[in-house]
C-alpha cells in the first residue's frame, strides 16, 4: 500500500525546519511542503531592516537554495494555499480543489498583516509582512525625501521608521500607546526607545487613525487614488513635550499628518481562517497541547501555534524567529513519535532493532527575541509582555547599555538587555530559563552583569 504523505502547510522558517527535521528523524515517505507565496522559504526579520534599507537583495534572505532543498525530495507546492483540513481523516484541500489524505500534518502558516478598511485601494499605503510587500515599499523609499507616516509603534513600526530615517526620509511614528513597543517591553524601556527615535529626528504621535486623505491618481500610475495624509481621531497628541508634530487640524478636531507614503504596522492575525473544522480551536492561533499537537496527527509550529508552555503553565503564542525554527523541529519530532507508536513510519534504509526509540517531548523553550533600531540592538529572554512588575536600569547612557527585569505574580519571567557582551547575555538567559522569585532573580542578574 502506498504510504500517505506528511504535509507541512507553510513554506516558512517553521515549515522548513519541520520538513528538514522529518527527514532527519527517519521519515522516508512522501513529504509535501505547501507555501502560499511563490518564493522559496526565506527569512522574514531582514524584511524590515537589511532588505528595506537596500543593504541586502532578496537572494540573501533565502533559507535554502533549490540545490540545498533537493536532498529533501519534497513535493514542493509554492504559490498554493491550503483551504481546508478534515481533522478526522487528515485530508487537506488546496485552492485548486485538490484533496489528499495525509499520515500527518504540520501547520506553519504564520500570521498575516492587519490593515485598515479601504487601505488596499489607496496607492502609497503599505503593509510589511511578505517579501513582495517589502520590495514594493523599498522601491517607493528609493531616492529619499519622502514623508512617511508609520502607523503602529511596535517592533516592526519602530524598525521600519529607523530604516526610513537612515535613508533620509521625514518620518512620523504613530501609536495608540504613548511609548514605542510599550506592550512588548514596558514603558520604561519604551521611553528610552522614544528618546532614541527623537534624537534621530522621528516625530512621535499618539492617537488612533481615523482615515486617509487622497488625491486623484497619477494617470501614469495604477489608477488608484494616492495617499496625501493620515487623519488621527480627536486630533491625537504629541508623544512627548516639545516635539514638532507637523500638519494641522482637520474637520471635527482630527489631526492631519501629511504623507507621501504610509506603512501600516498595526499588528498581525494568525493565518487560521482556512481551518474551519470544529475539532480545532483557532482562538488567537491554533490551540495545541504541550507537545504542539492540535489533534491526533495534527501539529503546529511558529507564529500560528498557541501551545501549553510547560514551564510558564499557560498557553503562549510567540511571533519570534528563533521560536519558529525550534518549534518546527519539535513538532516534527513529536509527530514522528506519534506515528512510530502507531507503527506507520516507513523505516529508514538499513534501520534495524538498533534504531533509536522515539518519544514525544514537551516543547519548553526559553523565548528569545531581538530588535535592531539604528545601532541599538535589544535582546530579550523569557516573557516581557504582560508583566506586572518591571525594573529597568540604564547601565551606561552614553553607550546605551541597559537592563530590564520583568516579573509576573512575584516571579521573574523575562529579561531584556542592550549593549551587553555575549557572555553576560548567556548568563541572563540561564537566570531566566526557569521563573525565580523576584528578589532571587534580581540578585543573580546583578551578579551576572557585575562579573564583566
The residues near 330 (Cβ < 8 Å, ≥ 6 apart) are: 291, 292, 301, 361, 363
Query: At residue 122, what are phi and psi to the nearest 5 degrees?
Result: -120, 125
Q: What is the grid cell recorded at 277?
A: 473544522
CATH topology of domain 119-264: FAD/NAD(P)-binding domain (3.50.50)
Delimiting residues of CATH 3.50.50.60 domain(s) in the chain? 6-112+268-341, 119-264
**Cβ distance 191 to 167 under 8 Å?**
no
| Per-position b or e across 426-445, b if 16+ CB within 10 A of its CB | ebbbebbeebbebeebbebb
**Cβ distance 10 to 37 under 8 Å?**
no
| Residue 342, pLDDT score | 83
Range from 4-18, 24-38, 340-354, 355-369 carrying the lowest mean pLDDT: 340-354
In 271-388, beta strands by DSSP E = 286-288, 293-295, 298-300, 305-309, 314-316, 368-373, 376-382
For 200-245, the pLDDT digits (tens) are: 999 999 999 999 999 997 666 667 899 999 999 976 677 653 333 3
**Cβ distance 173 to 180 under 8 Å?**
yes
| Residue 247, pLDDT score | 39
Q: Please indicate, yes or no, whether the overall pTM of this predicted structure exceeds 0.95.
A: no
| CATH 3.30.465.10 is held by the domain 6-112+268-341 | no
Banded pLDDT at 185 (limits 50, 70, 90)? very high
**Class (C level, CATH) for 375-450:** alpha beta
Rounded to whole angstroms, how far apart are CA atoms 15 and 84?
Answer: 18
Range from 40-54, 150-164, 339-353, 358-372 carrying the lowest mean pLDDT: 339-353
CA angle (82, 87, 90) in 5-degree steps: 70
| Residue 396, pLDDT score | 81
Delimiting residues of CATH 3.30.390.30 domain(s) in the chain? 375-450
Amino acid at each position: 500500500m502506498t504510504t500517505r504523505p506528511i504535509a507541512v502547510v507553510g513554506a516558512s522558517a517553521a515549515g522548513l525546519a519541520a520538513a528538514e527535521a522529518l527527514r532527519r528523524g527517519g521519515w522516508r515517505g512522501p513529504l509535501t511542503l505547501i507555501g502560499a507565496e511563490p518564493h522559496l522559504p526565506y527569512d522574514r526579520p531582514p524584511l524590515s531592516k537589511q532588505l528595506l534599507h537596500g543593504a541586502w537583495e532578496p537572494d540573501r534572505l533565502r533559507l535554502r537554495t533549490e540545490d540545498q532543498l533537493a536532498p529533501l525530495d519534497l513535493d514542493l507546492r509554492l504559490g498554493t494555499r491550503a483551504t481546508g483540513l478534515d481533522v478526522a481523516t487528515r485530508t487537506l484541500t488546496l485552492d485548486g480543489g485538490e484533496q489528499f489524505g495525509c499520515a500527518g500534518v504540520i501547520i506553519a502558516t504564520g500570521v498575516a498583516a492587519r490593515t485598515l478598511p479601504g487601505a488596499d485601494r489607496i496607492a502609497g499605503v503599505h503593509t510589511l509582512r511578505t517579501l513582495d510587500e517589502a520590495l514594493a515599499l523599498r522601491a517607493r523609499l528609493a531616492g529619499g525625501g519622502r514623508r512617511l507616516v508609520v502607523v503602529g509603534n511596535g517592533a516592526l513600526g519602530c524598525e521600519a521608521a529607523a530604516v526610513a530615517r537612515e535613508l533620509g526620509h521625514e518620518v512620523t511614528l504613530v501609536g495608540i500607546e504613548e511609548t514605542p513597543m510599550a506592550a512588548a517591553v514596558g514603558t520604561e524601556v519604551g521611553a528610552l526607545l522614544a528618546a532614541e527615535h527623537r534624537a534621530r529626528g522621528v516625530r512621535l504621535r499618539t492617537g488612533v487613525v481615523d482615515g486617509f486623505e487622497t488625491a486623484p491618481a497619477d494617470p501614469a500610475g495604477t489608477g488608484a487614488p494616492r495617499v496625501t495624509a493620515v487623519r488621527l481621531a480627536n486630533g491625537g497628541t504629541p508623544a512627548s513635550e516639545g516635539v514638532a508634530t507637523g500638519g494641522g487640524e482637520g474637520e471635527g478636531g482630527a489631526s492631519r499628518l501629511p504623507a507621501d507614503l504610509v506603512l501600516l504596522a498595526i499588528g498581525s492575525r494568525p493565518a487560521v481562517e482556512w481551518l474551519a473544522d470544529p475539532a480545532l480551536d483557532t482562538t488567537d492561533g491554533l490551540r495545541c497541547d504541550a507537545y504542539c499537537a492540535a489533534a491526533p496527527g495534527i501539529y503546529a509550529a511558529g507564529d500560528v501555534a498557541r501551545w501549553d508552555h510547560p514551564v510558564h503553565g499557560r498557553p503562549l503564542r510567540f511571533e519570534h524567529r528563533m521560536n519558529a525554527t525550534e518549534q518546527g523541529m519539535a513538532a516534527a519530532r513529536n509527530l514522528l513519535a506519534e506515528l512510530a507508536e502507531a507503527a506507520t513510519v516507513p523505516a529508514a534504509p538499513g534501520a534495524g532493532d538498533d534504531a533509536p526509540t522515539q518519544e514525544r517531548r514537551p516543547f519548553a523553550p526559553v523565548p528569545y527575541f531581538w530588535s535592531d533600531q539604528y545601532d541599538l540592538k535589544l535582546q530579550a529572554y523569557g516573557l516581557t509582555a504582560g508583566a506586572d512588575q518591571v525594573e529597568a536600569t540604564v547601565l551606561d547612557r552614553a553607550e546605551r547599555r541597559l537592563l530590564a527585569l520583568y516579573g509576573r505574580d512575584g516571579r521573574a519571567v523575562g529579561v531584556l538587555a542592550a549593549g551587553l557582551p555575549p557572555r553576560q547575555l548567556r548568563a541572563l538567559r540561564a537566570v531566566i530559563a526557569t521563573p525565580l522569585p523576584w528578589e532571587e532573580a534580581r540578585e543573580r542578574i546583578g551578579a551576572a552583569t557585575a562579573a564583566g
